[in-house]
Structure 1
Amino acid sequence: MLGDPTHLWGHSEPIWAVTFSPDNRILATGSQDTAVCLWDVKTGECVATLKGHEHGIFSLCFSPDGQYLASASQDKTSRIWSMLTNEEPRILDGKHLCFV
Structure 2
Amino acid sequence: MNKELMTNAVETLMKYKTAETQSERNIFYKFLEGMCNMESDYYILGHLELLAEVLEEKECAFMVDYVARYDYRAAQCLDVLMIDYRAHCEVRLRGSEYNN
Which TM-score band applies after superposition, normalised by the shorter structure? under 0.3
Question: TM-score w.r.t. structure 1 length?
Answer: 0.26
Q: Highest CA radius of gyration, 1 or 2? A: 2
- Name the structure, 1 or 2, with higher relative contact order (CA <8 Å, separation 6+): 2
TM-score, normalization: structure 2?
Answer: 0.26
Q: Structure 1 or 2: larger helix share?
A: 2
